[in-house]
Amino acid sequence: MKKSVLFRLAAALLLAALLFSFAGCSERNSGEGSGREAIPFSDGQLYAVAHLGYQKIEHLEHYVREYLSGDNPPVFYLSSGDYYLVIPRYDGMELKLYENDLNSSQPTLVYEDPDCEPFILQCNASDIFADATIRLTYGDSEAEFSPFLSLKDGSLEIGPGGLELTVQ
């Protein structure tokens, strides 16, 4: 009799543990926080950009959790200005990061990566001059842009090939 009660109790606990573990799996696979594939890209968009703040990074944990699978991206510094998170759409995208000279307006290649991962860029110390140009290439598709905040209305300008992800 005691063995039967213990056996039923053990079976009930095992069943409860299995049900609990399956419930956890369905939550994890719901799409939330599943990485770059969770970004709602449209046709023709090759990258996503979020403004993270001026001289201080804000809300990074949101983007890391939602779109970067928990990985903190590297930070590239060009000048003491705004922080931008750049997320390429595809694995295998080539990145070329240029610093634009204020006096000559000539770009200088400062970083290159044949398999770009998401990154943070600090740039644009001046409100009237974008000192960074980002070029992303994937096969025959190429996008080039300079992220900046509009002086007109404060909106993030990222070019036609990008998706804005900024949390308000």
Long-range contacts of 105-114 (CB under 8 A, 24+ apart): 107/133, 110/76, 110/78, 111/76
Query: What's the longest Cα–Cα distance across the chain?
Result: 91
- The answer to whether 146 and 135 have CB atoms below 8 angstroms apart is no
Q: Reduce the DSSP state of residue 17 to 3 states and report it.
A: helix
- Each residue's pLDDT tens digit, 11-22: 444 444 433 333
Q: Partners of 82 in the beta sheet?
A: 54, 123
- Each residue's pLDDT tens digit, 94-136: 999 999 998 887 899 999 999 999 999 999 988 888 999 999 9
Give the span between the Cα atoms of 66 and 70, in whole angstroms.
8
Residue 57 has pLDDT above 90, yes or no: yes
Percent of the chain with pLDDT over 90: 70
Q: Which residue, 39, 134, 133, is CA-closest to 90?
A: 39
Calculate the average pLDDT of the chain: 83
Predicted pLDDT at 26? 31
